[in-house]
């Protein structure tokens, strides 16, 4: 592939020029695009050699000052400002290469992909769109399967997998890879697909490794290096993604029980009534499985299928010991790492290998996990959870305001990233322990950013471009459905002004919600769950908190953002 030349002149911004050189180098590496770089001005390095200029595809001229253009008379030239490179070096490279004489075309590849995030909503589909758009631009054929709490959509067929040249997994939860045995596979996070789809595909084609067949080794097939960096967070989010349907179903059924049978619907004297039946299904069915599901699928993320049974049994012990979701998290990690260690350590003759997953691993891992929970972990964690629950239920005044400020701000600071998900997962798990106030701050704080942005596009249209004003309506719909990621495009375009405005509005919304005693019994749904009887405690307070946060976000955005060019 012919190299691209880039000459960067800093003028009065030498530090920016150095940063731009590194940004271009990394962006080119992600695209497998050879590049030769020259820095002009203070701190300049080696000049471009003559043979590099003769064999180049094009030259990118960045910045100001004397860039030595006379050397490049026969080459296609593209120009960019330092600010453009620092904002998005990949886009600058794509524009430069797009206008250059075409290099030898790469052979089109057939790609199958899976995207998944803990809730299976915004990041899942944003990653899918990023991969599809990048593959189309690069001339590759792609099919994407999306996975979330409701299962897989557009599932890949065996024929599509068999014909694929590459399997690409962009997921923040664990994805079963048994069906991809023998295929070249590359795994990363949804963020990589959203941020730079073209670079991701180029990296995947270069670095993908053959997926081992199930049972081909004593150690379950693990993610590629890029995925492995997520570590414990990814295991926890896998457990949360499987836990959420139990929390949602149980919370809504309990709310419906009260709506049908009144406040005493679950009292023993109401046995046989519809309200009592709904309460039994929600409280003693769905809610009883929340902690085992959380623990079981944390263990599954770590150790594959051998971790599920010991994880769920450890989670059930945690629930019975009163250790709740904190004990479930501990049980999941204990079971997962124990099962993974045993799987690697126990070696049997081939004719007995089939006993490992069905007898040896479940027995030994469950025994170790159970003993740890009963004799070591359960009692202190139960005491910790009891203290935490008592404090949260007794919150008043300043403590409630501070917790609301923190939770609301966490929802806005990275809009679906690790901080957002940590607040959300904690609040969702607390519902199982009967603590429903934090979820009110989390949901209202998470709805505020896109709703505030949508309002700002109407109140301050001059601060936004025409496409942004059009996107404001979509952001409003996403915000109403509690999809905080609807604000990401606006934050990405002007992070230093937009993100602080959103954090201010969400923090205030969370503080107002908890200060007014708002509680929320279901972990998702946004405005659409507010009309359900007894789903929200102090409904007027919830509406007021949301309105205050939305207005403050919109006004702060209008105050901080500059007029659109």
Give the pLDDT confidence of 319-354 residue by residue, as tens digits.
999 888 889 999 999 999 999 999 888 888 877 777
Domain membership of residue 225 (yes or no) is no
DSSP codes of every residue in 152-201: EESPPPHHHHHH-SEEEEEESS----GGGTTSEEEEE-HHHHHH-HHHHH
Q: What does the pLDDT read at residue 219?
A: 36
Catalytic position from the list 21, 117, 330, 548: 117
Question: Are 445 and 511 in the same domain?
Answer: yes
Residue 507 has pLDDT above 80, yes or no: yes
Mean pLDDT of 490-495: 79
**β-pair type (110-116, 166-171):** parallel
Question: Are 515 and 427 in the same domain?
Answer: yes
* pLDDT tier at 126, thresholds 50, 70, 90: confident
Q: What does the pLDDT read at residue 334?
A: 95
Tens of pLDDT along 279-296? 899 888 988 899 999 999
Who has greater pLDDT, 120 or 52? 52
Who has greater pLDDT, 531 or 103? 531
Domain membership of residue 148 (yes or no) is yes
Residue 312 has pLDDT above 90, yes or no: yes
Question: Are 270 and 207 in the same domain?
Answer: no
Residue 25 has pLDDT above 60, yes or no: yes
Question: Are 290 and 410 in the same domain?
Answer: no
Domain membership of residue 219 (yes or no) is no
Who has greater pLDDT, 394 or 20? 20
Mean pLDDT of 258-276: 82
Residue 510 has pLDDT above 70, yes or no: yes
Residue 223 has pLDDT above 70, yes or no: no
297-316: burial string, b at 16+ Cβ within 10 Å, e else:
bbbbbbbbbbbbbbbbbbbb
Phi-psi region of 262 (alpha: psi -120 to 50; beta: other; left: phi over 0): left
Q: What does the pLDDT read at residue 166?
A: 92
Question: Are 285 and 184 in the same domain?
Answer: no
Range scoring the smallest mean pLDDT among 156-170, 228-242, 423-437, 507-521: 228-242
Residue 396 has pLDDT above 80, yes or no: no
Give the angle 105-111-113 at the CA atoms, nearest 5°: 145
Maximum pairwise Cα distance, the chain = 92
Q: What does the pLDDT read at residue 225?
A: 42
Query: What is the percent of the chain with per-residue pLDDT over 90, rounded to a whole number?
Result: 26
Mean pLDDT of 133-148: 86
Mean pLDDT of 181-190: 88
Range of the domain at 283: 231-391
Last residue of a domain, one of 48, 72, 98: 98
Who has greater pLDDT, 447 or 425? 447
Active site residue 534: no
Domain membership of residue 105 (yes or no) is no
Question: Are 410 and 469 in the same domain?
Answer: yes
Mean pLDDT of 106-114: 85
Q: What does the pLDDT read at residue 297?
A: 92
- pLDDT, the chain, mean: 83
Question: Helix, strand or coil for residue 151?
Answer: strand
Residue 370 has pLDDT above 90, yes or no: yes
Question: Helix, strand or coil for residue 79?
Answer: strand
Question: Are 340 and 460 in the same domain?
Answer: no
**C-alpha span between 425 and 329 (Å, rounded):** 11
Model's pTM, two decimal places?
Answer: 0.65
Question: Are 348 and 247 in the same domain?
Answer: yes
Outline where DSSP puts E strands in 315-354: none
Who has greater pLDDT, 120 or 396? 396
Question: Residue 84's domain is classified under what CATH number?
Answer: 3.40.50.2300
Q: What does the pLDDT read at residue 295?
A: 94
Tens of pLDDT along 460-471? 988 888 888 888
Who has greater pLDDT, 310 or 214? 310
Who has greater pLDDT, 142 or 390? 142
Per the structure, the count of domains in the chain is 4
């Amino acid at each position: 592939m012919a190299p691209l030349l880039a000459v960067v002149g800093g003028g009065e911004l030498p530090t920016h020029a150095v940063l731009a050189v590194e940004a271009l180098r990394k962006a080119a590496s992600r695209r497998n695009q050879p590049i030769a770089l020259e820095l002009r001005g203070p701190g300049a390095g080696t000049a471009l050699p003559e043979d590099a200029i003769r064999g180049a595809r094009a030259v990118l001229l960045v910045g100001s000052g004397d860039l030595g253009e006379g050397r490049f008379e026969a080459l296609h030239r593209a120009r960019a400002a330092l600010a453009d490179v620092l904002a998005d070096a990949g886009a600058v490279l794509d524009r430069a290469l797009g206008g250059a004489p075409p290099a030898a075309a790469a052979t089109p590849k057939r790609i199958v992909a899976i995207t998944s995030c803990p809730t299976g909503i915004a990041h899942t589909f944003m990653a899918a769109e990023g991969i599809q758009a990048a593959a189309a631009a690069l001339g590759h054929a792609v099919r994407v399967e999306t996975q979330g709490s409701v299962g897989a959509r557009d599932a890949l067929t065996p024929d599509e997998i068999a014909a694929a040249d590459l399997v690409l997994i962009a997921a923040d939860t664990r994805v079963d890879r048994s069906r991809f045995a023998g295929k070249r596979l590359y795994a990363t996070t949804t963020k990589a697909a959203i941020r730079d789809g073209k670079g991701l595909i180029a990296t995947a084609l270069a670095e993908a490794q053959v997926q081992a067949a199930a049972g081909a080794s004593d150690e379950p097939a693990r993610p590629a290096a890029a995925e492995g960096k997520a570590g414990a967070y990814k295991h926890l989010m896998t457990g949360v993604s499987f836990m959420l349907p139990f929390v949602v179903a149980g919370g809504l059924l309990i709310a419906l029980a009260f709506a049908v049978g009144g406040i005493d619907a679950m009292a023993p004297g109401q046995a046989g009534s519809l309200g009592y039946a709904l309460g039994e299904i929600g409280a003693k069915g769905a809610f009883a499985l929340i902690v085992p599901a959380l623990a079981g699928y944390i263990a599954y993320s770590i150790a594959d299928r051998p971790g599920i049974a010991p994880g769920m049994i450890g989670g059930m012990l945690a629930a019975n010991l009163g250790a709740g979701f904190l004990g479930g998290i501990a049980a999941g990690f204990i079971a997962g790492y124990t099962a993974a260690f045993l799987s690697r350590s126990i070696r049997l003759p081939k004719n007995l290998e089939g006993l490992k997953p069905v007898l040896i691993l479940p027995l030994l891992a469950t025994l170790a996990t159970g003993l740890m929970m009963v004799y070591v972990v359960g009692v202190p964690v139960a005491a910790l959870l009891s203290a935490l629950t008592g404090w949260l239920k007794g919150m008043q005044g300043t403590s409630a305001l501070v917790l609301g400020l923190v939770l609301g701000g966490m929802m806005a600071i990275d809009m679906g990233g690790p901080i957002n998900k940590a607040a959300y997962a904690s609040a969702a798990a607390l519902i199982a322990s009967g603590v429903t106030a934090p979820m009110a701050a989390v949901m209202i704080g998470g709805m505020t950013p896109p709703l505030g942005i949508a309002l700002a596009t109407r109140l301050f249209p001059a601060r936004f471009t025409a496409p942004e004003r059009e996107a404001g309506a979509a952001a409003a719909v996403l915000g109403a459905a509690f999809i905080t990621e609807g604000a990401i495009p606006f934050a990405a375009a002007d992070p230093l002004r937009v993100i602080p405005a959103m954090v201010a509005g969400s923090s205030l919304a969370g503080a107002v919600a908890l200060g007014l005693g708002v509680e929320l019994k279901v972990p998702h749904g946004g405005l659409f769950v507010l009309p359900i009887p007894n789903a929200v405690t102090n409904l007027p307070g919830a509406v007021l908190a949301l309105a205050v946060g939305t207005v403050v976000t919109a006004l702060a955005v209008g105050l901080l953002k500059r007029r659109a060019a």
